[in-house]
Amino acid sequence: MTSRPHESLDPDARPQRRTFTAEFKARILDEYESAPDAAARGAILRRERLYGSHLLDWRKARDAGAAAGLTDRRQSAARAAKKAENAELSRLQRENARLQAELNKTQTALSIMGKAHA
């Protein structure tokens, strides 16, 4: 068995991407903005294991669309609805292809029977 050097034997070695709720983002933004000085703001970032860019993005989203900007588009209800819609569309396309093939087979059989009868 050969192993590549970048592969790990531990299946949990790949880190999971963290997701943050809109409530968490709003709470951290409020706490960060009410901090008295840079040392306190840095302590909040270290405690929550966040980067300043997180807060910049969250603040920009909040200012652009209030709480709607803080929701994660990857986890939103619209995405779930779109995924369900796509699944239904692909199911209907498969069913349509199956029925088209069955119709072609039936038409071919009727054509052959018509020619044989004539």
Does the model's pTM come out above 0.85? no
Evaluate whether 67 touches 26 at the Cβ level (below 8 Å): yes
Residue 112 to residue 104: CA distance in whole angstroms: 12
Within 13 Å and on the Cβ side, how many CA atoms surround 112?
A: 6
Evaluate whether 54 touches 90 at the Cβ level (below 8 Å): no
Count of beta carbons in the 10 Å neighbourhood of residue 58:
21
Residue-wise pLDDT for 27-81, tens only, equals 999 999 999 999 999 999 999 999 999 999 888 888 877 555 566 666 666 666 7
Q: Which residue has the tokens 């983002």?
A: 25
Is the predicted pLDDT of residue 110 greater than 70, yes or no? yes
What residue spans define the domains of the chain?
20-70, 74-117
- Residue 61 CB contacts under 8 Å (≥ 6 apart), including other chains: 69, 70
